[in-house]
Amino acid sequence: MNANQIVPLQALAAAVPDGALLAVPKDSSGVAMAATRALVRRRVRGLHLLCVPTSGLQADLLIGAEAVATIETSAVTLGEFGAAPRFTAALRDGSLRILDSTCPAVYAALQAGEKGIPFIPLRGLIGSDVLRHRHDWKVLDNPFPPGDPIAVLPAIRPDLALFHAPLADRFGNVFVGRNRDLITMAHAAKHTLVTVEEITDDDLLQDAARAGAVLPSLYVTHVAVARRGAWPLALWDLYPDDEATLARYADAARSSDGFAQLLEEWLDAARAVA
């Protein structure tokens, strides 16, 4: 393995340059919230945030912290805690550029990225305002039986993919379980940054029962340990959403002052741990 693969959280956050095209997963797949707070602490700016295929608290926090120039997503929502307040405020005041997408388009463009092909066709879309506003997407005629219009999307190769998982091994292999989205993201991305609950001495690829659900270290640039690294979001079925904290966020972030206060509190707590 690469000698510098396992790093402290701050070093992992420092590996995300300003302006990066950063791919992050939907809430249920494992969101690297501790790393996200570390990114905000280092005042990252100008991100192109690709949500695979949606996001919630993570996108809202980064937008509120003025870290995001462009968001490409199928949806941003805090789920049962309601609308994402900084996301909606930033769209209203024009400080955020949005590329509205649809879930299968995000997956398909990443799949084109992992195959190294320039574009990929996708059904649906024709006649929607999603397609009309995506000047980077086109409609072609099927070259095989013609008379069959189909949308085509350019491949996406994120600069970085960032997610949180329960376990990595000391060789840099990461257990992703059923969350194959994480593998697609990592295949397409130039670099992948992963935070984990713990690092085992076992070699995950030598365990036949788990090896099929492992992202090999080949794709992984850095791994950092962040215990409860998805907090206040759930990590799979290992720990649940911190509902009180999420409700408090949804309420506080309705105003930019309330958001700033809560963010300060979270960053202070992160500083204390660091």
Q: Considering only residues 236-265, where is the footprint of other proteins by CB under 8 A? A: 237
Residue 265 gets which letter from DSSP? Answer: H
For other proteins, the closer CB: 10 or 70: 70
Structure tokens at 250: 């949804």
What are residue 187's phi and psi, to 5 degrees? -60, -40
CA angle (130, 64, 133) in 5-degree steps? 15
Q: Does 192 bind other proteins (CB under 8 A)?
A: no
Pick from 223, 222, 219, 241: nearest CA to 231: 241
**Shortest gap between Cβ of 96 and other proteins (angstroms)?**
9
Residue 153 gets which letter from DSSP? Answer: E
For other proteins, the closer CB: 10 or 28: 28
What are residue 90's phi and psi, to 5 degrees? -70, -35
Using CB under 8 A, pick the residue from 5, 28, 70, 200 that binds other proteins.
28
Using CB under 8 A, pick the residue from 183, 193, 223, 233 that binds other proteins.
183
Q: Does 13 bind other proteins (CB under 8 A)?
A: no
Q: Considering only residues 205-234, where is the footprint of other proteins by CB under 8 A? A: none
Pick from 77, 148, 71, 56: nearest CA to 106: 71
Pick from 257, 233, 244, 256: nearest CA to 86: 256
Q: Which stretch binds other proteins (CB under 8 A): 13-21, 84-92, 188-196, 259-267?
A: 84-92
What is the rounded CA–CA span in Å between residue 66 and residue 87? 11
Structure tokens at 257: 């002052």
Q: Which stretch binds other proteins (CB under 8 A): 2-10, 41-49, 91-99, 188-196?
A: 91-99
Q: Which stretch binds other proteins (CB under 8 A): 9-17, 33-41, 182-190, 217-225?
A: 182-190
Contact positions vs other proteins (CB under 8 A): 26, 28, 52-54, 73-77, 79-80, 83-84, 87-88, 91-94, 98, 100-105, 107-108, 111, 122-133, 147-150, 178-184, 237
